[in-house]
Structures are given as structure tokens and as C-alpha cells.
A and B are shown apart, each in its own frame.
Chain A
Amino acid sequence: MKRRIYLTLALASCITVTTSTFADPVSDNETIRSYFSDKFPDIALEDLVDGVYAIDKDSRDQWLQIEEFPPYEEAISKGEKLFTTPFTNGKSYAGCFDNGGISIKQNYPYFDTEKSQVVTLEQAVNNCRIENGEQPLPYGKGAIAYITSYMASTSRGELINVTIPNDAAKAAYEEGKQFFYSRRGQLNMACATCHMANAGKRLRADILSPALGQVSHFPAFRFKWDDVGTIQRRYAGCNTQIRAKPFELQSAQYRNLEYFHTYMSNGLAINGPGTRK
């Protein structure tokens, strides 16, 4: 009898250790939301899609003035033109996506169960081009960022809805999570160092944005870029800033990171493209 009790206790403690060490994505999200609720008690979590402009009043006032004549509008127009222009074979992007590519951004990135890998919206755009005999576009900026800016604009207000359909997807999510929390580069900093632990604090003249809600407004027009760019372009920039060698855009590392990063913001509204410093 005693042996049975010991065995049960041992099993129970093993299960407790396992669940706390390998938390599932849903409880990860609960933890992150609870963390930011505690960190910014006066800000509703859904407002974090505005990033630092939800946190700092002065920055918000300036941003609202900028939004009166948004600098990303040209990118949306160019993107719409590119999106609707037929390929050489007469087909168009609309034929490659659900709902003709309108109002679908909130479902990206998704996990392709056949190819067993994360597919981002930029990658899906290029896959569409290849399937239709066109050359793929360079990632990060330019035409691909214009097209996805337009697509994002058609998804405004839709709630981010990234799913994890199977164990392979869970593994990709975990890899993205590990990347997010791993210190790297000569400055020995992780994504989480700035955007979790120090979110809302100043880094020189800038305020660090919270990780929650970051993906909602990408592609984003950054004054530093003087154009719109994709979230992975920003990842590469962040990595360079901490003196880590950036990965190739659309590499498995960045796609998995984007998967984790977007899943984190499930339930928040798409408001891209946005404007950022």
C-alpha cells in the first residue's frame, strides 16, 4: 500500500515538473498576458497593438498626428496595383489564396501539415508567383512588402488566429519560443530582454515596445527605413543591433520565431500596416 502511495506521488511530481517545464502554447499565452497586465495595469491588452503609442502619451500624440497623413498609404496603393495585376499567364494572386487573398492576414503564419513547416504570408506570395511561372520577389522590402501591406490593410480589425494543428507544429512553435528567449550576439541579449523584461523602458531616446501586439502592425513603415518593411526585416535588424549575425529572411529560424511571436498575439486585432520610428 505504502509503495503504491509513493509511486503515485512520484508520478504526480513527474507530471508537475513536465507540465511546468514544457508549458503548452495556451498556458504560454496566459502567462504572457498576465505578465503584461501586471506590467501595464492601466492599459488594456488589446491596446498593445499600438505598441509604444499605447504606453507613452507624448509618443501617442505625435503618432496620431502622423496617422492623419499616414506614410504607408503609398505602399498600400502600390501593393493593391501589384496584387491585382495579372501574371503573364493571365492568373493573379487572388487565385492562390482563400477568399481571393482578402482579409486573410490574421491566419498567417500557418503550419503546412503536408510540408511540415511554417508558411508566412510573404512566402505564400512568392509560392504563388512560382506556381504561376513568375520569379520570386526578394524578401524584406520593396514589392513583397507593398503586396503584404495591401493584404494587411484588408484584414484590419480581424483578430489574429494562428493555430497549432499537430505535434510538428508544436515543435516549430517551441523552436520559435526558444529563439525568442535565448540570449545571443556580443551584447548577450534575447528578444525577451528588450520586449518582455524591459518593455516600456527607455533605450536611449526610444521606448521599448512590448512583444505582445508587435506583429499586428507589420508590414510597418519605419522612418529609419523611409519605407515599409516586413516583420522579418525587423528581426534581422534587432539581431544586428545586439551584434548577432542575422539569419536569412524566411529561414526556418525566423519563420518559427514569427510563428511563436504571432501566436502570442492571438485574439488581438490586425491594424497593419503601421507607422513606427
Chain B
Amino acid sequence: MVQELGNNTMTKNNILRLVLLLVLSSIITACSDKDNGTEVVNGVTEQEKIDSKPTSQNEAINKSNKVGISDLMQQVAQAERQANEYGFVWSTTDDIIKKAYVAAKQGNENEARDLFQEAVLQFNLSIEQAKYAALNWKLLIPEND
């Protein structure tokens, strides 16, 4: 009897928790959504917000985006320093960085952003490759029968 009561209370608690979770998740989904990197807040994308604002405010937002690019440039430089220490840098990364700088100079910020991020990714992958090689390079040594 006591066990039955206890089971009922647990079931009620579980249902309550589930309802609370559902409500919370629907609130979160309604307030914010991410689609292909474009943040949607209250149904309005970041770009739409920029377009609807007066020019002076647009300039301010553009400035903040530029700070984002310069942050990425710093990230690239830092990743490059680290990757160089491991000595496994890929030959493809330099070209990506060059293209990113050209895109940034031409004002193609989204393209520049993607390219800088790709460069950071490649540097990080080369570091992972170096770490893997340090542990597993002997796997390619033929075994003497």
C-alpha cells in the first residue's frame, strides 16, 4: 500500500518535471533560434535589425562586426603560433589566410569570417594530427617476422 502511494507520488513528480521541461524548451525556442549562423531573436534576424536601424547605428554595428573580424585575425595568429610549434602545418592554410585578408579588405565580411574560421580549424587539426603522430607513429614501422 505504502509502496503504491510512493509510486503514485513519483509518477506525479515525473509528469510535473516533464511538463516544466516542455514549457521551458518552448520558451527558449520561441525567444531564440539559430539558422545557418544567423541569430533569430523574437522572430527578427540580426541582419533585419541592422537594416531597420538608422545609418549611424548601422555604422556602430558594422564597427562591432569589424572587431569580430580582428578578433578572428588574432585567433588565426595565435593558432598559427601554436601549430608551428608542432611542425605539422598544412600547406593549404596559408592560401586560405591570404584569401581571408583579401575578402576582409574588400568588405566581404562573411566570406572573410568563414575563411578565418577555416584557417583556425586547419591549424587545430594539424595540432591534433601532430599529437596523434607523437603517440602512434610507430604503427607504420614494418614488423620483422
A interface list, Cβ under 8 A from B: 21, 27, 30-32, 34-35, 38, 178, 181-186, 188, 190, 192-193, 196-197, 239-240, 243-247, 253
Which B residues lie within 8 Å of A186 (CB)? 90-92, 122
Q: Which of A190, A244, A245, A253 has the most CB of B within 10 A?
A: A245
User: Which single residue of chain B is at the shortest CB-CB distance from A178?
Assistant: B137
Please name 16 pairs of A and B residues whose Cβ atoms are closer than 8 Å in the assembled complex, sorted by A. Answer: A21-B138, A27-B144, A31-B142, A34-B144, A35-B144, A178-B137, A183-B129, A183-B132, A183-B140, A184-B88, A184-B129, A185-B88, A190-B137, A193-B140, A197-B140, A243-B91
Q: Give B57-81 interface residues, CB cut-off 8 Å to A.
A: none
Q: Shortest Cβ distance from A250 into chain B, in angstroms?
A: 15
Closest A residue by C-beta to B93? A245
CB-based contact A31/B144 at 8 Å: yes
Provide the residues of chain B in CB contact with A192, threshold 8 Å.
140-141
Indicate if B120 sits at the interface (CB-CB under 8 A): no
Question: How many Å lie between the Cα of A30 and that of B141 in the bound state?
Answer: 12
> A38–B138 Cα gap in the complex (Å)?
20
In angstroms, Cα B132 to Cα A178, docked, is 12
Over the window 81-119 of chain B, the binary record of Cβ atoms lying under 8 Å from chain A Cβ atoms (1 yes, 0 no) is 000000111111110000000000000000000000000
Complex CA gap A196/B139 in Å reads: 12
| Interface size class of chain B, counting residues whose CB lies under 8 Å from the partner chain | 20 to 34
Minimum Cβ distance to chain A for residue B80 (Å): 11
Quick one: closest A residue to B122, CB to CB? A186
- In this assembly, does B15 line the interface, its C-beta being within 8 Å of a C-beta of chain A? no
* 6 A-B pairs with least C-beta separation: A182-B133, A35-B142, A245-B89, A31-B144, A182-B137, A192-B140
Q: Apart from A181-B139, A185-B91, A245-B94, list 17 A-B contacts with CB within 8 A.
A: A178-B137, A181-B138, A181-B140, A182-B133, A183-B129, A183-B137, A183-B140, A184-B130, A190-B140, A192-B141, A196-B140, A243-B91, A244-B88, A245-B89, A245-B90, A245-B91, A245-B93
**A183-B133, A188-B129 given; A244·B90 CB < 8 A:** yes
Complex CA distance for A233 and B57, rounded to whole angstroms: 55
Q: How far is the CB of B41 from chain A (nearest CB, A)?
A: 38
CA distance A190 to B122 in the complex (A): 18
Residues of B within 8 Å of A184, CB to CB, are: 88, 129-130, 133
Residues of A within 8 A of B132 (CB): 183
Taking CB atoms, residues of chain B closer than 8 Å to A30 are 144
Residues of B within 8 A of A188 (CB): 129
Q: A247 vs B140: C-alpha distance in the bound complex, in angstroms?
A: 22
Cα separation A246 to B144 with both chains bound (whole Å): 31
Cα separation A89 to B72 with both chains bound (whole Å): 55
Enumerate chain A residues within 8 angstroms of B139, measured Cβ to Cβ.
181
Q: Check if B35 is an interface residue, CB within 8 A of chain A.
A: no
| Least CB separation from A240: chain B residue | B91
Tell me which residues across on chain B come within 8 A of A32, comparing CB atoms.
142
Within the complex, what minimum Cβ distance (angstroms) separates B86 from chain A? 10
| Cα A196 to Cα B143 with chains together (Å) | 12
Q: Point out which of B88, B89, B92, B142 has the most chain A C-beta atoms below 10 A from its C-beta.
A: B142
